[in-house]
Amino acid sequence: MVLCTEDGHKAGTAPKAEVHTASTPLHFAFSAWLFDDCGNVLLTRRALNKLTWPGVWTNSFCGHPGPDETFEDALVRRASEELGTTVKKIESVLPSFRYRAVDASGIVENEICPVFFAEVDGELNPNPDEVCEFEWVSMENLKEAVERVPFIFSPWLVEELEQFPE
């Protein structure tokens, strides 16, 4: 994983297994929201074996860029690895999004995490080590669900949704 400084500059790398701890250093990540032809967004439920937020509903997928990888290239790679699909029309929507959250087990997420929208461009074949369920929903229904039961969603989904332009 690519570590970074408070002002967003690269500050070295570290193995993923050593980064996500109770004192996670600031690092780069990305968050992707996939849409279908009808404008519905893909929600995924994180696999139950995930280190952080297992079983929690979240946006389509997230990931970490490699040391010499653009966010867009990392997004394309992770769409294939996590969802078994391809994407098109990648659009940056929250380029400076950053968050810090602590999961129930005490593991910290501490990321500079640009957010992207993209369109799904193929069938879904989710990796069961990453995703245990998925659902296509309207943004209207998602916003209503987050308002009613925010605790079933990842903290980054809730924060991102609040910051999206209308």
Binding residue ranges for Mn(2+): 20, 27, 64, 109, 111
d(CA 51, CA 105): 9
Q: What distance separates the 2 farthest-apart alpha carbons in the chain?
A: 41
Catalytic residue among 4, 6, 38, 62: 62
End-to-end CA distance of the chain: 33
On the 0-12 / 13-18 / 19+ scale of CB atoms within 10 A, 78 is buried
**Quick one: which of 15, 31, 5, 21 has its CA closest to 107?**
21
Catalytic residue among 111, 113, 130, 160: 111
State yes or no: is 72 an active-site residue. no
Binding site per annotation, positions for Mg(2+): 82
Binding site per annotation, positions: 20, 27, 64, 82, 109, 111
Residues sharing a CB contact under 8 Å with residue 5, sequence separation 6 or more, in sequence order: 11, 26
State yes or no: is 111 an active-site residue. yes
- By annotation, the residues acting in catalysis are 62, 111
